[in-house]
Amino acid sequence: MSIKRALTIAGSAARGGAGIQADLKTFQELDVFGTTVVTAIVASNSIKRRGIFPQSLEAVEAQLFTIAEDVGTDALKTGMLFTKEIISYVADWIKQSEVKNIVVDPVMIGKIGTALLQEDAMEAMRNELLPLATIITPNMPEASYLLDNMAINSVADLKVAAKKIHELGPKYVLVKGGRLVGPAVDVLYDGEQYYLLEAPRIDTIHTNGAGCTYSAAITAELAKGKTVPEAVIEAKKFITAAIRHSLSFKQGVGPTYHAAYGKYNETGCTVTVEKD
């Protein structure tokens, strides 16, 4: 049997809803074989931040080569990379690899306020990793941060931000409008046209790991051979279902439900294409 392979280079989120754990659950749901490079271990919940434990470059390198030598990779995503050293190392590794589908989720701050990228790592993210991306998937605060604190308050602003980030080098930019009011609109831009993806807004606070899950679903669909717009549309349906059926355990912000898309019949999303 042949199965496509997806790699996540990201942090371990002990709570299970975000990071490597969200990625693997999503890969499994979408029937791709998941591999992992753990960059840091995050032990925080809404009650207490017990710590972030970054892995050494040696550990990151050993994991990358272990996967490359044996299983191989059809698509990869990066999530929490935490330090500028890890970002530079991963960027150099991607350059010498033959992996074609590179999804960069520029993870900066978690839903419960944990800093997941060190302050001095932003330049490496912008200058070294971003130009290698097939697609980068910032939320509104991340897009704003990438653009020297540009204000983003509307769908029109999402489009401007997508275009400006595109100038930094990635092939596609997906700016997610999760923090707007009204329908949940995300903007995908390829340098020539905008795809506006719209789904109903789901009124819940339980969206921990939503960004990880969305970008993991894009990665899985790219691994299976979809084009970027096709992969993003499928992933938008996946994340909408996962948020609609999100989970709440004991306290605080709960995770999205990774199995929801396979389990329930969802209506999907509408797509409008606009020329630049």
Give me the residues that bind ligand PXL (CB under 6 A), please: 10-11, 13, 18-19, 42, 79-80, 107, 110, 116, 208-209, 211-212
Residue 108 or 196 having the CB closest to ligand PXL:
108
Closest CA to 214 of 248, 167, 261, 150: 261
Q: CB 110 → ligand PXL: shortest distance, Å?
A: 3
**β-pair type (184-189, 172-176):** antiparallel
What torsion do the CA atoms of 27, 30, 32, 36 make, to the nearest 10 degrees? Answer: 0
CA count, 13 A, side-chain hemisphere, 105: 29
Q: CB 101 → ligand PXL: shortest distance, Å?
A: 20
d(CA 112, CA 14): 14
d(CA 240, CA 201): 9
Residue 177 or 209 having the CB closest to ligand PXL:
209
Residue 36 or 88 having the CB closest to ligand PXL:
36
Closest CA to 174 of 129, 135, 231: 135
Q: CB 117 → ligand PXL: shortest distance, Å?
A: 10
Contacts of 85 (CB under 8 A, 6+ apart): 57
Which residues pair with residue 271 across a beta bridge?
197
Q: CB 250 → ligand PXL: shortest distance, Å?
A: 16
Q: CB 186 → ligand PXL: shortest distance, Å?
A: 16
Residue 34 or 229 having the CB closest to ligand PXL:
34
Residue 155 or 186 having the CB closest to ligand PXL:
186
**Tokens of residue 142, six digits:** 């991340």
Helix-helix angle 210-223:228-244, to 10 degrees: 140
Residue 54 or 211 having the CB closest to ligand PXL:
211
**Tokens of residue 230, six digits:** 């096709």
Q: CB 87 → ligand PXL: shortest distance, Å?
A: 14
Cα 172–chain centre separation: 13
CB 101 within 8 Å of CB 219:
yes
Residue 34 or 110 having the CB closest to ligand PXL:
110
d(CA 52, CA 43): 6
Q: CB 276 → ligand PXL: shortest distance, Å?
A: 31
Residue 80 or 130 having the CB closest to ligand PXL:
80
Q: CB 14 → ligand PXL: shortest distance, Å?
A: 8
